[in-house]
Structure 1
Amino acid sequence: MDAITLVPTNSLLTATPEEGRQLAIKMARLIIKVTQPDEQKRQQLRDVYAHDAIMLIAIGQTVATKFATIAAANHYWR
């Protein structure tokens, strides 16, 4: 497996909260890719979590946690 950069551009700094949110989503997706490196298996699992409200909430929580970290690193864009 090729090495995956878990923090794109090796920085949590973003110009805006919107960019921070996009970075949080990207980081959450990268963690899933590292956790389950088999692309075919990830495709199979998408149908499972697409129909499971608890799993969708968990995804939202993961992104929210990443976003909170990015917001703190950016001093909440003050």
Structure 2
Amino acid sequence: MSESVQLIPGNSLITATPQEGRELAIKMARLTIRVTQPDDEIRGKLRGIYAEDAAMLIAVGQTVATEFATIAAANNYWR
């Protein structure tokens, strides 16, 4: 990584609510994409491609779901 990116914002998976956990999962997924493709211009060009590809959109959803499952477990499923 050429620039330092904090992949776990605040260095914690602990959130007060499932809603905050879901928001953190989305943010973490976006950060992963940013680190994988650090060029803003290229990411902008690619957005138009995956925005119209159902398989790619499903893959994004799966990535967020995986992040959310990890966050939920870290929060003892908010019990």
TMscore range, shorter length:
over 0.9
Structure 2 CA distance for aligned equivalents of residues 29 and 20 of structure 1: 14
State TM-score, norm by structure 1: 0.99
Segments of 5+ residues of structure 1 without an aligned counterpart are none
Aligned residues: 78
Structure 1 CA distance for aligned equivalents of residues 3 and 51 of structure 2: 27
Aligned to 1:53: 54
Aligned to 1:15: 16
Q: Which aligned segments of 4 or more residues in structure 1 are displaced greater than 4 angstroms?
A: none
**Deviation string, structure 1 residues 24-71 (Cα, Å, up to 9, x no partner):** 000000000000000000000000000000000000000000000000
Root mean square deviation, CA, Å:
0.5
Segments of 5+ residues of structure 2 without an aligned counterpart are none
State TM-score, norm by structure 2: 0.97
Structure 2 CA distance for aligned equivalents of residues 37 and 51 of structure 1: 22
